[in-house]
Amino acid sequence: MSARVVAVVVTWNRRQLLAESLDALAAQSHPLTATVVVDNASTDGTAAALRERVEGAGAGDPEHLDVVTLTENTGGAGGFAAGLEQALRHDPDLVWLLDDDTVPTAGAAAALVAAWAAYDGPGGRPALLASKVVWTDGRDHPMNTPRAKPGASGAERRAAEAVGAVPIRSASFVSIMCDAAVVRERGLPVADYFLWNDDFEYSTRLIRGRTGLYVPGSLVVHKTRTFGSTDVDPGDRFFFEVRNKLWLFTRSAGLTPAEKLLYGGSTARRWARTFAASTDRATLGRALGRGLVAGVRGGPRANAEVLAPAGWQAEEPRAAGPAGRALPPGQPFSLLISTFAGDDPGYLRQAFSSTVEQQTRRPDEVVMVQDGPVPPELAATVAELAASSPVPVRHVVMDANVGLGPALDKGLAACRHDIVARMDADDISVPERFARQLPVIEAGADIVGSGLLEFGAAVEDIVGRRTPPTDPDEIRRVIRFRDPFNHPTVVYRREAVLAAGGYSDMALMEDYLLFTRMVEGGAVPANIAEPLVCYRVGAGAYARRGGRRLLRSELALQRRFRELGLTSRREYARNVLVRGGYRLVPESLRRTAYRALIANRQGRGAPGAADGSRTGGR
């Protein structure tokens, strides 16, 4: 399956160079899904030239231009923040960020995509890939040399070398390609990093804990006026370098503490060289003082505050309460189900019937994601359900099994309605489930779950009950320690899910990570204590709640929480000790603990409540 690539170009008063850059993007050997151009309030006729280009495009236009016009110059940081957000609306796999004076060679995109797809090393698929940047005479451009990763392991270097690349720790916005899933998870560039360090902060944030690659086979020409580095005398603009660097070292999650020491020393040496070479050290000194004060006194403003005066409405997480979010009753909604080769056709038929045909308030559509090839019997069941359903069914087929998180992301993209209900392929909903949950969403909640009953061989064989916390403050309090939602029971607003980055490819823990990002980002949570779903546990349920594989997922989740700044060091240590330890105890002890602390506790829970116990085959 060919990767969907959306390019983002930020421009200001470079009409001719922009045209050359856009021509080169249209000629890429790997066709682009779309090109987002952010016009940063140009005054040289750029807006008219872009209108003419869009109006003159025919049906076979390879550019698919999407022009964003800002009314104020927000710099590269603001432009790329708005452009990236716009690019995500095109549902890309990769987003390619370029300056307006960057002219890529025809194979530049293809080389980056090939390295992204072929890399098989530590850290998983690359979060970011950087091109080789040369000047007009072919020399390597000194302004755009990616920073090699200090202390890269032998395994990292060998894996990178196998795809013709080198491990890096940061890169510039001149030409970098970013994994869209990582962008959704880790957010947009910080728009207030005007002029300096915006790309350094953002690239380190994307790469931290993941893989960044420099791909020399991807060649672009950076047509700056002169050949030189950023060590030239900055004058009064040195204020932005100092302020932004302090923000980076004190407020960004891009660097580890050890890296902050390393790069802090490098910064001090660079500033010393700048002062030594300056012909106006008094101006530099005043800019240094103002930058230090501004960097210490406060942090960067929210993107919405920075970009609103330029006419851009950023879709940032909301903190509004239910009163301002109410919707009229009777809202349409989608039902999202994912099935894969390991599902039982009979169980799927039961799940579908209970959640569609038997509901007192039926969904308006069903989106059925088929996660990879399935056996003939299951395929026939899916086709039969789609043909006989009383509501429309959209069958989304994945070429290969990609796992629950990525499959649900594809399903969300296919949903026609903003309100989406989840259902597993082997559970059973009570008839009043949606009649109870939809009014909560319509009243202002962004996500609502419910209690559930666990059953064994038959639905009458109830072996446990899980009752989630229902007080919104309690949900917010406990979510950093355990998942307060039962995933198969949730109904949510798709816009709130996408604002939090969607599901991520974190096997067994994708739902917990998503719900935590939603709540921490301001989504309004709710739960109904009453069990509205019957949850099939089956044989081996307790074994699947532990073991090394789940421990690895648990540790990866806790690292991700820490990287995203969701937990403190103390909370991280507590979670690893308690939640990680739960995965390692003998199955008999885990069975006893689960029954005593989780499956039959009212309104409480314990570490094993978020265990993804049935996604092991995904």
554-578 residue pLDDT tens: 777 778 777 777 777 788 788 777 7
> Could you please report the per-residue DSSP string of 275-312?
HHH-S-HHHHHHHHHHHHHHHHH--PPPHHHHHGGGT-
Given a contact cutoff of 8 angstroms between Cβ atoms, the answer to whether 598 and 466 are in contact is yes
Mean per-residue pLDDT, 578-606? 52
398-431 residue pLDDT tens: 999 988 889 999 999 999 999 999 999 999 999 9
Does the structure show a pLDDT above 90 at 439? yes
Q: Distance (Å, rounded) from C-alpha 338 to C-alpha 12?
A: 45
Q: For residue 564, count other CB atoms closer than 10 A to its CB.
A: 20
- Out of 24-28, 125-129, 319-323, 458-462, least confident range: 319-323
Does the structure show a pLDDT above 50 at 541? no
Given a contact cutoff of 8 angstroms between Cβ atoms, the answer to whether 366 and 353 are in contact is no
**pLDDT band of 591, cuts 50, 70, 90:** low
pLDDT given at position 232: 62
More confident residue, 154 or 258: 154
| Phi-psi region at 420: left, alpha or beta (left = phi > 0; alpha = psi -120 to 50) | beta
pTM: 0.59
Does the structure show a pLDDT above 60 at 233? yes
More confident residue, 278 or 323: 278
**pLDDT band of 324, cuts 50, 70, 90:** very low
**pLDDT band of 269, cuts 50, 70, 90:** confident
Please name the helix (run of DSSP H) or strand (run of DSSP E) that holds residue 70, with its range, or none.
strand 65-70
**pLDDT band of 321, cuts 50, 70, 90:** very low
**What are the CA-CA distances from residue 104 to residues 116, 132, 134, 200, 341 (Å)?**
18, 10, 10, 21, 42
Q: Distance (Å, rounded) from C-alpha 551 to C-alpha 576?
A: 9
Alpha-carbon Rg for the chain, nearest whole angstrom, is: 26
Does the structure show a pLDDT above 80 at 57? no
Q: Which two tokens stand for residue 147?
A: 């920073």
Q: Distance (Å, rounded) from C-alpha 68 to C-alpha 46?
A: 12
Q: Which two tokens stand for residue 53?
A: 């280009």
Share of the chain above pLDDT 70, in %: 86
Half-sphere exposure of 586 (CA within 13 A, CB side): 2
359-374 residue pLDDT tens: 999 999 999 999 999 9
Does the structure show a pLDDT above 90 at 379? yes
Spell out the residues 6+ positions from residue 20 whose beta carbon is closer than 8 angstroms to its own: 103, 223
- Of 170, 9, 202, 6, which Cα lies nearest the Cα of 103? 9
Residues paired with 97 in a beta bridge? 8, 176
pLDDT given at position 327: 83
Does the structure show a pLDDT above 90 at 59? no
Q: Distance (Å, rounded) from C-alpha 347 to C-alpha 540?
A: 17
| Phi-psi region at 195: left, alpha or beta (left = phi > 0; alpha = psi -120 to 50) | left
> Which contacts (CB < 8 Å, 24+ apart) does range 271-275 have?
271/242, 273/231, 274/231, 274/233, 274/234, 274/238
Q: Distance (Å, rounded) from C-alpha 347 to C-alpha 499?
A: 33
Does the structure show a pLDDT above 50 at 194? yes
60-115 residue pLDDT tens: 566 689 999 999 998 888 999 999 989 988 889 999 999 999 999 999 999 999 99
Q: Report all structural domains of the chain as residue ranges with CATH numbers, in order of start.
A: 5-230 (3.90.550.60), 334-609 (3.90.550.10)
Does the structure show a pLDDT above 50 at 252? yes
Does the structure show a pLDDT above 90 at 608? no
pLDDT given at position 88: 87
Q: Distance (Å, rounded) from C-alpha 52 to C-alpha 40?
A: 18
Does the structure show a pLDDT above 90 at 610? no
Residues paired with 368 in a beta bridge? 337, 395
Does the structure show a pLDDT above 50 at 601? no
More confident residue, 559 or 22: 22
